[in-house]
Amino acid sequence: MKKVNYAIGAVGLVSGFGLVMPATVAVAGTAVKVTKPHKKVSHIQNIPALTCGGNHTRSASANRFANITLYSNGGGGCINSVLGTLSINSTGLQMRTRVYNHGTRVFENFVHGSALGPRTTFKTRVNVHGNQTCAALVNSQNHAQVKYGPECLTL
C-alpha cells in the first residue's frame, strides 16, 4: 500500500492527489462542522427604503439654476424627488442633492444631467423623510467645486 503525505498550511489540507480542503477540516480523525462565514451588512445611504408621493411642489432659483422639489406632507414629510434645471446646455456637471431633517443630513447623491435643447436637466429620486432640500451643480471631476447654487428649500 502506498503512503500519501499530507501538508497542513494556511490554505488547508493538500494531499498527493491535489485535493484542497478548508483548514477547519484539516485535523485528521476529528469531525469539524464547517460553517459559512457571517455576512457583513452595511447601510447604504442612497438606496430608498420607502416610496414618497409627489403631490406638492416647491422651487427656488438663482443664476440660471432651479431646484424643484416634489414632496408629500410638508414640514418633515416625505420627499419624493429633486429636479434641477440649468437654463443653458452644459456638460461636465453633476447635481449634488442633499436632504436634511431638522438640521441632520439624511441623504446625499450625485447625478449627471441630460441636455434637452437649450437647457440641462437633472433628477434625483430621494424617498426619505426630511424638511429641507439643497441642490447644487458641481464639477463632475471635483465635487468640492460648486458651479451653480446651492439652492435650498425648506418644506
Mean pLDDT (the chain, rounded) = 77
Beta-carbon count within 10 A of 61 CB = 15
Q: What average pLDDT does range 108-128 have in this prediction? A: 94
**CATH number for region 56-154:** 2.60.40
Digit-coded pLDDT (tens) for 119-153:
999 999 999 999 999 999 999 999 999 999 999 99
Report domain extents, the chain: 1-31, 56-154
Identify whether the C-beta of residue 19 lies closer than 8 Å to the C-beta of residue 4: no
Distance CA 153, CA 155 (A): 6
Least confident of 61-65, 106-110, 143-147: 61-65
Identify whether the C-beta of residue 58 lies closer than 8 Å to the C-beta of residue 130: no
